[in-house]
Amino acid sequence: MTAHSKRRIVVGTRQSALALTQTGQTVESLQSICDAAGLSYTFELKPIVTRGDRILDMTLSKVGGKGLFVKEIEQALMDREIDLAVHSMKDMPFALPVGLVIGAVPKREDPRDCLIGRTATHLDELPHGARIGTSSLRRGAQLQAARPDLSIESIRGNIDTRLRKLEEEQFDAILLAAAGLHRMGWKDRITSYLSTELCLPAVGQGALAVECRADDEEVMSLLARFNDPVTARTITAERTILGLLNGGCQVPIGAYAEVVNGEDSDLVLTGLVASPDGSRILKETASGKDPGKLGQTVAQLLLARGADMILAEARE
């Protein structure tokens, strides 16, 4: 790759306001890296409509779960219509199509879930029987375990749509990932954050996956400069659980890994499998240096406690 090589890199993204915002922020970062390194690449955004964006009247668990927001974009990568794609990591299935790789995992945003209350600001302030909107079985199950009296109802759509539905459909509160609100500059809409102890995040929540073709050496080399090693390690541990439990959106699965201190120190990983109604919640934590082995350990601890039974029931 010479300093004189000019190349237009086409970046695929979903069309939602959040997807366009986080893709735009990624392109800005990549442009800064290019400028600093003397690489004369230009970037062009190509919005793509995915199946998950088209089907808005059903819960994700009923229409196929993971992959709904990435398949069409991955197809465009394989067809060489685009050169890289920016996804929310939590939308990524464990197995990628042959020839595609996650070329970079940039620094993670806040991984927590948050509550946006219409009048109440905290979970414990919500009245008995309050209506809570969420599109996530994982959030619903954990909230139901903490407050069995709450009425958990499905709410779909982009962040802006859900914020509007909070008012229009008279929900007492809705649950969202904090990262999306942060990236949109809407932090002030959050009334409280849910601790990871109360509500374990989705696998990869708050992180982005920048996907490309494995044989595209120029893009691979550029993305290597954008990768955050600490975030990449934590995501590997979390995604290993997802792979071993064969998890999709049909089943409440959560995982969250943290680095104890510094880039090469131990990771602490917690994994969760729950029944959709929150009546059974299995949670296991372990620590270790190797993210892949750690993910296997936590997955095996969950399976030893009967996670496979909960998963099988939920899939039925």
Q: Do the Cβ atoms of 228 and 103 come closer than 8 Å?
A: no
| pTM, 2 dp | 0.91
The span from the CA of 193 to the CA of 110, in Å, is: 10
Complete domains list, the chain, with CATH: 6-107+207-227 (3.40.190.10), 113-194 (3.40.190.10), 235-315 (3.30.160.40)
- Which residues, at least 6 apart from 316, have a Cβ–Cβ distance to it below 8 Å? none
Q: What is the pLDDT along the chain (316 residues), one digit of tens a residue?
A: 444 558 999 999 999 999 999 999 999 999 999 999 999 899 999 999 877 666 655 555 555 565 777 889 999 999 999 999 999 999 898 999 999 999 999 999 999 999 999 999 999 999 999 999 998 999 999 999 999 999 999 998 889 999 999 999 989 999 999 999 999 999 999 999 999 999 999 999 999 999 999 999 999 999 999 999 999 999 999 999 999 997 655 678 999 999 987 667 899 999 999 998 889 999 999 999 999 999 999 999 999 999 999 988 877 7
Amino acid code (one letter) for 298: V
In DSSP terms, 101 is beta-bridged to 212
Cβ 257 vs Cβ 291: under 8 Å: yes
How far is residue 245's CA from residue 197's CA, in Å, rounded to a whole number? 21
Active site residues: 91
Calpha distance 237→160 (Å, rounded) = 31
DSSP 3-state of 260: coil
Could you say which DSSP state residue 90 is in? G
Residue 49 CA: distances (Å) to CA of 4, 193, 228, 267, 290:
35, 31, 28, 37, 37
